Structure 1
């Protein structure tokens, strides 16, 4: 068992503001203050960071990397390798927020991702996550949980408000082309960009089709972020339409097939309102 104090809490209900689900539906994302205590973040951060250091496969100098590789160090499904990380990824507090915001009975895990932007790391280009995911519904959501105070200069996540309603650009992988095209099109179509920073313990939730980006890390410390991707517990898998979706189906939903629910050992249900009632 993990030693705990009253200030380490990942399972109690978060007092979600009444307007939060409306904001998500209208804007495609919502920022939430003090989702976790500073003590809770400090409890999990060293282990997550240690896992990233141990499992990171990118070791090229920054000037030898492409745009995507300069954006961040990316390590997925850390919950499979460490019990403490698993505690956080399986947090009922975080999963309940996701289910409530999506307006579904429950959510299951798609996968987790640690995204560490090194000092001097470049931009994260404009993109929508669901380009990579073979799902027949838009009931997908990601919690973006910084593990330190994250002002804009550190590479905080930025959102194009209400861009989940935009069909244009959904066929673009993250990269130089998505940054150029979406930067121009979002501005031309009047989408505003939210570039606010995050205080320690704050989190944001964004839908799979919400366009987002991050600026470079202009600080001297890594931008450490843990993300968890949730999907409707009863979501159907769609036939993959590109190579990244075929790879995701094989990697994150092994054995699952188009038309079925991703009920695999890697995709457990993390929360159901009906079960909690």
Structure 2
């Protein structure tokens, strides 16, 4: 494929990023963490053009930002780039990233749920408060998302904002990402006086990790540059699929766990095992 001409020269990303006990405990306490230099600037420079090209090719938006609804204004969203390109596959399935996910969650192995490029355009809107796992038919508390900018993210744009320790409660509402979810969860955070954390400016290759149940949002993009972010969602090996209790989860079961029935192991061909201890 044209995206893979230089595949043999791309970094393999299969070495280990060392976590401290303090970092692991902090993540488990709060449900989120920022880690610096998960990928080096040189590594990101090699993969960014591949991901950017795929996003341009698969961008489904046909209207300018100001004519879209709240969800559409939030970002250009392209899923499972690893299916589209061997180069993107090397990045998404990287052992280095997967091992971090497993160690933060305290599990022996992790599988991919799916990846997503989330590019917030100049003038792009905020991402409303939400919980990711309301979409996922996964019978586990052990889910985690890596959110990695491929370009520097300035203080003006910022990273995501997390509501600390909300992952411990599990599902708080069935609200999908919307203006209503922003109002509902914003009121909940205020009423409970929950601490919120934004890690501010990030360099390309830094990454945040957050639990599937951690409430989070993101500010809009008031700058004239694209906020390019790549995400990878992991879940614990051995997890079983849930009976979908919403159309969103039914759609996710069909798309991201093809052929898997409720109660069966979540281990379709789209969910490769990307890290196993020992």
TM-score bin (small chain):
over 0.9
Q: Which of the numbers 3, 7, 24 marks the counterpart of 2:9? A: 3
Q: More deviation in 207-216 or 9-18?
A: 9-18
* Structure-2 residue corresponding to 1:220: 224
Residue 95 of structure 1 pairs with residue 95 of structure 2: no
Normalised TM-score (structure 1): 0.95
Q: What aligned pairs does 1:59-98 form with structure 2 within 5 A after superposition?
A: 59-98=62-101
* Structure-2 residue corresponding to 1:202: 206
Q: In 2, distance between residues paired with 1:135 and 1:184?
A: 27
* Structure-1 residue corresponding to 2:247: 243
* Structure-2 residue corresponding to 1:264: 268
* Structure-1 residue corresponding to 2:17: 14
Given that 2:138 and 2:266 are in contact with CA atoms closer than 8 Å, whether structure 1 keeps it comes out as no
Q: Which of the numbers 157, 161, 175 marks the counterpart of 2:160? A: 157
Instruction: Give the root-mean-square deviation of aligned CA atoms.
Output: 1.3
Q: In 2, distance between residues paired with 1:84 and 1:9?
A: 10
Given that 2:34 and 2:199 are in contact with CA atoms closer than 8 Å, whether structure 1 keeps it comes out as no
Q: In 2, distance between residues paired with 1:44 and 1:35?
A: 14
Deviation at 1:155, TM superposition (A): 4.7
Deviation at 1:166, TM superposition (A): 3.7
Q: 1:22 and 1:240, CA in 2 relative to 1: closer, same or farther beyond 3 A? A: same
* Structure-2 residue corresponding to 1:126: 129
Deviation beyond 4 Å, 4+ runs, structure 1? none
Q: Which of the numbers 253, 259, 262 marks the counterpart of 2:257? A: 253
Given that 2:158 and 2:198 are in contact with CA atoms closer than 8 Å, whether structure 1 keeps it comes out as no
Q: In 2, distance between residues paired with 1:155 and 1:118?
A: 14
Given that 1:237 and 1:259 are in contact with CA atoms closer than 8 Å, whether structure 2 keeps it comes out as yes
Given that 2:12 and 2:90 are in contact with CA atoms closer than 8 Å, whether structure 1 keeps it comes out as no
Give unmatched runs, 5+ long, in structure 1. none
Give unmatched runs, 5+ long, in structure 2. 1-6
Q: 1:240 and 1:266, CA in 2 relative to 1: closer, same or farther beyond 3 A? A: same
Q: In 1, distance between residues paired with 2:58 and 2:104?
A: 32
Look up the SS of the partner of 2:137 in the other structure: coil
Can you list the C-alpha shifts for 1:233-266, whole angstroms capped at 9, x where unaligned?
A: 1111111110000000000110001111122111
Q: In 2, distance between residues paired with 1:230 and 1:149?
A: 24
